[in-house]
């Protein structure tokens, strides 16, 4: 069976499974990472996609301020995460030391500031001896680093996988999960080994999210590659444990606004973590409107926690993706991967809706489009998405 066909078959099975359960009796086994966190996909911001190594206390503070003023906090974004390059050494006791030039008041003061804004604070380390940028890694210091992070008020740790060649990924990440648990502080664990050790097989018991792909680039084709790869593992995602197709590029300038709306829609359909990766201090109106579209965020954050899947395609470029929602509706994305406008039909039965008709709402134009029988047809812009919510009429 081809990969794509397998996905379609899985879609049909998933659609009927979702229908077989009434939403109120639907239960999922809690993720065995056991920390009870990230019941919906984590939302926040991370420095890497825009700033790479160029991070500082001032930039992170200004980002937290911007998260509040732009309305992103109120739309659901919580974690402000510093990625690689904040750390320069270990001290005589082996404790991690932050760059004193770039973080003159230290990490604890920065975490306090972020908390004072009603936000949560995240940091980055690496399971190996060094980070990807050559800074000190956590290998051999798991308990010590977990205690340091807890003492600083860290709420989220992304743990990378550079300089870890001879190590066993499930063992190392479990070691750090246990070290974090021993601190007694609730801390989200973000596993970042790029899908290189089949994390979908073990990471749901270890972390709250795990990367399924290589690093995203700010291009349409990279975004689609990550979509396709992460889609292969849809069945293992659920409350507390999410596939991570990597952080958002919305607003970074490499794609058009239309492409960014598609990127954001597809991450929501996939129940992916929504971790913005742009400069929040300097956003265009369309970028803010995309990142704070509450109807799309509600698809991502739906409490059922199902990852949407590909349910129809006319290869290679026209596709329909669907995500079951807690109330029995479906979020449906009509995706046009081609460079010309196209008409796409979304058959409700393919999306798992056993109904003669459905009420349709457009989640980008914020309009109720009315009642449709069996299918919804729309023109979809080149490199674009039409995203709807289809509620069955009983």
Active-site amino acid positions: 160, 215
Whether 288 contacts 75, CB under 8 Å: no
**Segment near ligand GLA (CB under 6 A), from 58-66, 91-99, 126-134, 380-388?**
126-134
Residues 317 and 138: their CA atoms lie apart, in Å, by 43
In the complex, least distance from residue 364 CB atom to ligand GLA, rounded to whole angstroms: 28
> Which positions ≥6 away from 195 have C-beta within 8 Å?
210, 211, 212, 213, 214, 229
215 contributes a contact to ligand GLA by CB under 6 A: yes
107 contributes a contact to ligand GLA by CB under 6 A: no
| Site mask for ligand GLA (CB under 6 A), range 127-166, x = bound | ----xxx--------------------------x------
In the complex, least distance from residue 233 CB atom to ligand GLA, rounded to whole angstroms: 17
225 contributes a contact to ligand GLA by CB under 6 A: no
Residues 286 and 202: their CA atoms lie apart, in Å, by 39
In the complex, least distance from residue 266 CB atom to ligand GLA, rounded to whole angstroms: 19
State the residue number with the nearest CB to ligand GLA: 132
- Cβ neighbours around 109 below 10 Å, total: 15
70 versus 212: smaller Cβ distance to ligand GLA: 212
Q: Which of 192, 231, 262, 334 binds ligand GLA (CB under 6 A)?
A: 192
In the complex, least distance from residue 126 CB atom to ligand GLA, rounded to whole angstroms: 8
Binders of ligand GLA: how many residues, by CB under 6 A? 10
84 versus 279: smaller Cβ distance to ligand GLA: 84
In the complex, least distance from residue 124 CB atom to ligand GLA, rounded to whole angstroms: 6
Could you tell me if residue 313 is left (phi over 0), alpha (psi between -120 and 50 degrees) or otherwise beta? beta
In the complex, least distance from residue 99 CB atom to ligand GLA, rounded to whole angstroms: 15
248 contributes a contact to ligand GLA by CB under 6 A: no
156 versus 194: smaller Cβ distance to ligand GLA: 194
Residues 322 and 309: their CA atoms lie apart, in Å, by 6
> Which positions ≥6 away from 18 have C-beta within 8 Å?
306, 324, 352
35 versus 190: smaller Cβ distance to ligand GLA: 190
84 contributes a contact to ligand GLA by CB under 6 A: yes
Whether 373 contacts 356, CB under 8 Å: yes
Q: Which two tokens stand for residue 15?
A: 């659609």
Residue of 236, 306, 228, 311 lying closest to 9 (CA atoms): 311
H or E element: which one contains 146? helix 142-152
* Chain residues 42-81 in contact with ligand GLA, contact rule CB under 6 A: 48
* Chain residues 349-378 in contact with ligand GLA, contact rule CB under 6 A: none
Question: Taken in order 150, 151, 154, 157, is the CA torsion positive or negative?
Answer: negative
Residues 246 and 223: their CA atoms lie apart, in Å, by 9
Residues 271 and 258: their CA atoms lie apart, in Å, by 20
132 versus 334: smaller Cβ distance to ligand GLA: 132
In the complex, least distance from residue 131 CB atom to ligand GLA, rounded to whole angstroms: 6
| Alpha-carbon distances of 331 from 263, 334, 360, rounded to whole Å | 15, 10, 10
Say which residue the tokens 């008709």 belong to. 357
Interface contacts to ligand GLA, rule CB under 6 A: 48, 83-84, 131-133, 160, 192, 194, 215
């Amino acid at each position: 069976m081809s990969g794509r066909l397998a996905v379609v078959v899985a879609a049909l099975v998933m659609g009927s499974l979702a229908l077989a359960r009434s939403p109120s009796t639907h239960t999922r086994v809690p993720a065995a990472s056991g920390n009870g966190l990230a019941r919906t996909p984590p939302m926040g911001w991370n420095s890497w996609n825009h700033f790479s190594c160029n991070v500082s206390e001032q930039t992170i503070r200004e980002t937290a301020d911007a998260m509040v003023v732009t309305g992103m906090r109120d739309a659901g974004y919580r974690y402000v995460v510093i990625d690689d390059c904040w750390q320069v050494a270990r001290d005589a006791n082996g404790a991690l030391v932050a760059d004193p030039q770039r973080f003159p008041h230290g990490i604890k003061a920065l975490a306090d500031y972020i908390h004072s804004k009603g936000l949560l604070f995240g940091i980055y380390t690496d399971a190996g001896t060094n980070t990807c940028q050559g800074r000190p890694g956590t290998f051999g210091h798991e308990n010590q680093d977990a205690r340091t992070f807890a003492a600083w008020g860290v709420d989220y740790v992304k743990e990378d996988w550079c300089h870890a060649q001879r190590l066993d990924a499930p063992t190392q990440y479990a070691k750090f999960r246990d070290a974090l648990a021993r601190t007694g502080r609730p801390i989200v664990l973000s596993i970042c080994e790029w899908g290189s050790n089949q994390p979908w097989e073990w990471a749901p018991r270890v972390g709250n999210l795990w990367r399924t792909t290589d690093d995203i680039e700010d291009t349409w084709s990279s975004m689609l590659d990550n979509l396709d790869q992460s889609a292969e593992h849809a069945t293992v995602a659920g409350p507390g444990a999410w596939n991570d197709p990597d952080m958002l590029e919305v607003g970074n300038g490499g794609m058009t606004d239309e492409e960014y709306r598609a990127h954001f829609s597809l991450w929501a359909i996939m129940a992916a973590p929504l971790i913005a990766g742009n400069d929040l201090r300097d956003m265009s109106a369309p970028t803010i409107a995309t990142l704070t579209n509450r109807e799309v965020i509600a698809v991502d954050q739906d409490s059922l926690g199902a990852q949407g899947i590909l349910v129809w395609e006319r290869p290679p470029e026209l596709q329909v993706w669907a995500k079951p929602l807690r109330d029995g509706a479906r979020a449906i994305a009509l995706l046009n991967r081609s460079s010309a406008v196209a008409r796409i039909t979304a058959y409700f039965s393919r999306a798992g809706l056993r109904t003669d008709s459905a009420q349709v709402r457009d989640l980008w134009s914020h309009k109720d489009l009315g009642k449709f029988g069996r299918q919804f047809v729309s023109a979809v812009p080149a490199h674009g998405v039409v995203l709807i919510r289809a509620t069955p009429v009983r």
